[in-house]
Copies of this chain bind each other. A is one copy, B any other.
Amino acid sequence: MFNDNVPYKIYLSEEELPKQWYNVRADMKNKPAPLLDPETMKPIRAERLSSVFCEELVKQELDDTTPYFDIPEPILDFYKMYRPAPLTRAYFLEKKLGTPAKIYYKFEGNNTSGSHKLNSAIAQAYYAKMQGLRGVTTETGAGQWGTALAMACSYFDLDCKVYMVKCSYEQKPFRREVMKVYGASVTPSPSMETAVGRKINEQFPGTGGSLGCAISEAVEAATSMEGYRYVLGSVLNQVLLHQTVIGLESKAAMDKYGIKPDIIIGCAGGGSNLGGLISPFMGEKLRGEADYRFIAVEPESCPSLTRGKYAYDYCDTGAVCPLQKMYTLGSGFMPAATHAGGLRYHGMSSLLSQLYDDKLMEAVSVKQTEVFAAAELFARVEGTLPAPESSHAIKVAIDEALKCKETGEEKTIFFGLTGTGYFDMMSYEKFHNGVMKDYAPTDAEIAEALAKLPKVE
């Protein structure tokens, strides 16, 4: 059943692994809009950013002209622990669907943190270590990012302080314990350790917390402790840069076997996986060397690209972080409590927002029950149990493959499979038991959140 001279899984040798990250901004005619300082509403200066973020990371964040950044040797060493991620030809899925399409996916879940987040976590930990810092702080919701950062900090012997949304801390103890195995301190947020945490606890006694609150606590902790900085797992340019290792590896594997995708699909929350996946291919498109269709898949419950507005907005609810121009539902938008926690973010990376606004990328939104049905089908035929976030891409890849079945076209479809669903079994249970619901915000809800966007000249 394995034809076409393409192995079921393509592994690159260590020598073939990417040695540089690719900065797609260098090839963009319309650059992502600059970050704004929340105090002055003017483009933020590097010095201001450096009080919150590591210096090298600030440089990467602001550099929109350098096309390639060397990956430092210690990061390359660490990547060897779990990379290359195999590029897999979904022969079993194709057969099940009876499609003439050729389907490929890049699985990023074969590491203990279970997702692609580790690609940037190790880079951010490295630069923190090089700067001589004692540690870093961050927030985490369901825990994928926190777990990845804990692993990375453990490797470089850095202190890692994670503020975990309290309801997740209590209801999802598994990832919390993985973080502890890696020596991270995990604090349920809102806590009594920070001024902002105490304030929120006072205002809302017994609250389960929110990502916005956890960000504010992590930033306060980083800026109030000597030798600490704050790190973030998505949305930022630097994160997308590190994640290009996904797309570069995929492209190297494809080039080796003469594979050229027609459609490239990724799930989109803050945009870190999608940006990393598509960047090298988008670069070719921007330079006029090749053409591809790119599809961002977002949950119907949090449709920033498909129903949001392209405007400057706060990245966090506390409004302590710089403002970004992005497709946003408004920083006050509260998405429904769906089972793809990693996609519940009100905005989209400014880089991807610009590409989308320039019509270089498409976007669709999908219902979560359909996503879980696709996930289960995929798990049964391809073996890998996918995370709900990743399954958004599966759903649309299947849709496109079924269109090929109708038309008879032999398109090559490529999607990013960001992680495993090991820690999401309770969501699968709800799906099974038929108690999972779909949610879409009303136009009025979105309009209300958008009405509170900050005024920027």
| A interface list, Cβ under 8 A from B | 1-2, 7-9, 11, 13-14, 77, 80-82, 92, 110-112, 114, 151, 154-155, 173-174, 177-178, 180-183, 376, 379-385, 420, 422-423, 425-426, 428-429, 432
The CA-CA distance from A14 to B14 in the complex, in Å, is 17
The CA-CA distance from A228 to B128 in the complex, in Å, is 59
Residues on B with C-beta less than 8 A from A423 are 422
Structural contact, A432 and B180, CB atoms closer than 8 A: yes
Structural contact, A181 and B379, CB atoms closer than 8 A: yes
The CA-CA distance from A11 to B14 in the complex, in Å, is 10
Residues on B with C-beta less than 8 A from A385 are 112, 178, 181
CB distance from A288 to the nearest CB of B (A): 36
Structural contact, A180 and B14, CB atoms closer than 8 A: no
The CA-CA distance from A14 to B173 in the complex, in Å, is 39
Structural contact, B81 and A382, CB atoms closer than 8 A: yes
Structural contact, B422 and A181, CB atoms closer than 8 A: no
CB distance from A214 to the nearest CB of B (A): 21
A152 to chain B: closest residue by CB:
B383
Structural contact, B2 and A13, CB atoms closer than 8 A: no
Of B13, B14, B376, B422, the contact of A174 (CB 8 Å cutoff): B422
Interface centre among A111, A112, A384 (most CB of B within 10 A): A112
Residues on B with C-beta less than 8 A from A380 are 154-155, 181-183
Residues on B with C-beta less than 8 A from A429 are 173, 177, 180
Structural contact, A383 and B174, CB atoms closer than 8 A: no
Copies of this chain assembled into the complex: 2
A110 to chain B: closest residue by CB:
B110
Residues on B with C-beta less than 8 A from A112 are 379, 383-385, 420
Secondary structure type dominating chain A contacts: helix
A and B contact pairs by CB, cutoff 8 A, 5 listed: A2-B77, A7-B13, A9-B80, A180-B428, A422-B422
The CA-CA distance from A317 to B445 in the complex, in Å, is 61
Structural contact, B77 and A111, CB atoms closer than 8 A: no
The CA-CA distance from A152 to B97 in the complex, in Å, is 19
Structural contact, A7 and B14, CB atoms closer than 8 A: yes
CB distance from A456 to the nearest CB of B (A): 43
The CA-CA distance from A366 to B111 in the complex, in Å, is 27
CB distance from A419 to the nearest CB of B (A): 12
Of B9, B81, B381, the contact of A8 (CB 8 Å cutoff): B81
Structural contact, A379 and B8, CB atoms closer than 8 A: no
Residues on B with C-beta less than 8 A from A384 are 111-112
The CA-CA distance from A384 to B380 in the complex, in Å, is 25
The CA-CA distance from A423 to B425 in the complex, in Å, is 11
The CA-CA distance from A82 to B109 in the complex, in Å, is 13
The CA-CA distance from A1 to B78 in the complex, in Å, is 11
The CA-CA distance from A426 to B154 in the complex, in Å, is 21
The CA-CA distance from A381 to B385 in the complex, in Å, is 26
Residues on B with C-beta less than 8 A from A177 are 425-426, 428-429, 432
CB distance from A337 to the nearest CB of B (A): 19
Residues on B with C-beta less than 8 A from A422 are 114, 174, 422-423
Structural contact, A383 and B9, CB atoms closer than 8 A: no
Given the known interface contacts A423-B422, A429-B180, the answer about A11 and B11 at a Cβ–Cβ threshold of 8 Å is yes
Of B8, B181, B425, B432, the contact of A376 (CB 8 Å cutoff): B181
CB distance from A347 to the nearest CB of B (A): 31
A76 to chain B: closest residue by CB:
B2
Residues on B with C-beta less than 8 A from A111 are 383-384
The CA-CA distance from A177 to B423 in the complex, in Å, is 11
Given the known interface contacts A173-B426, A422-B422, the answer about A77 and B382 at a Cβ–Cβ threshold of 8 Å is no
Residues on B with C-beta less than 8 A from A110 are 110
CB distance from A114 to the nearest CB of B (A): 8
A15 to chain B: closest residue by CB:
B7
Of B8, B81, B178, the contact of A80 (CB 8 Å cutoff): B8
The CA-CA distance from A426 to B114 in the complex, in Å, is 18
Residues on B with C-beta less than 8 A from A1 are 77
CB distance from A293 to the nearest CB of B (A): 28
CB distance from A129 to the nearest CB of B (A): 15
